[in-house]
Structure 1
């Protein structure tokens, strides 16, 4: 009889330990907050922000297409409305890569002295910003049809010291053209989104003044484990945040509150397989979403045509 009681106590102790471990895992992956958000979305489906992109309505139309001719890991993505094409970067063999909207490789531009190039963002015609993740540098570059290489040492740069460096630094960029704000995502430890005014500096007749803002309350409300990429939607003023580890894209309204999401898990939004490692997201003027995943996979999402 004593052995039975001892076994029961052991089983109860193991069950309690398992519950504690499950709770810790759920907390680490922000599962409780994510489940609460999904429940609210379901309950308030008819009360969404009228400006919301409604990311849950998107369906994949190009899935896990291998970018032919590209072997290096891709990181980040931006849409160029003037060229009607996309740009990404590779950081092992540092290059700026131009892609078609179908994920075809159009051009390679060699990057010299850019360190760990991790993100690229379109600013205006021919003007971009590229990040050096480890050294927390933002580098202004200009390209045209004939550009085949870029040298960082002759470009306008902004070096920032915002928390620890290493490979958890500047991971994503987004630009608000109307507000002239550059959003910079720090991957994690801590996960942050900074808002930079005054860079890139485009008017030589004006003083070079940079202001860096952040919103810790907003960042604390992001129920994702990391930040891989950002995208600003000029029409709504909303910001999209891509998380590789959470396999999720969040839409943040103008107050920084999550209002819709796009799951990158198998079986969701038409995906037959989960996106392995989402690293870059971009949106064109038609609202079509483009995504790249390491090592060299291309995705395109759009909303089904309304009947």
Structure 2
């Protein structure tokens, strides 16, 4: 590929991204108008149902719909994607009277949606439309019409769904997050639906992986350094946690502290002589992702886990790497 061709490709990509960016910029403006009122009604309608959100569509709208259904489900709003064409051949049985239908069609004239819409009306199932044309067949039959701004596609021929797909996707994400925030969906709830992979690992709480009880390497400020070194070697965490007479965190002695004091006669010193006061600490409910961020920021390998200023655990970098937090 020569330089001219390269520049042409980059110019094409830049034009596409500018068109898509302009499309996304128009969406918040629409939400300040009639789309905003319809959006609020859609959120309220979904909150009111006892069943699931049945997302449907065909073509590119269908692909976007499948992603929206997945996002809704993973953020606490039960949802399922039903392909509009398959619905006409038996999949209507997946839709119950307790559900709501979220139908996507950019033109609003998708023929394959006819069966789903007729079925929904027959059983008084609320229909939420996502289209640019509220006067379309879909827009007229819907109980709530989320009317998107009609903008130019990034495709130079104005044919391939590009800007329209991005708008549908963005509105679906906005709907999912509004529902998430409305029900107070927490990171713990999120983990329930994402137990696997690095995402599930990052949502693990420190209490689930920390070392506690007899495994903790403990010493007092008056402990002799010979005994402290023996504890560090025995517990194999590369540190010893220092607690005062009331069991509160007083400091920490790490391998680094030992190296920095090699020129001294350690057997004549107490823990208080070389310990680092006010060490990094987290609570048992700290997320693993936050814990590893703290370790990286401080360039250390261990965090003391405290409750009411008293050490109840220790979490090491190796613990976080072992469960897949990167």
The interval holding the TM-score normalised by the smaller chain is: under 0.3
Please state which structure has a larger fraction of its residues in helix: 2
Q: Which has the higher contact order (CA 8 A, sep 6+)?
A: 1
TM-score of the superposed pair, with normalisation by structure 2: 0.23
Q: Which has the larger radius of gyration?
A: 2
Please state which structure has a larger fraction of its residues in strand: 1
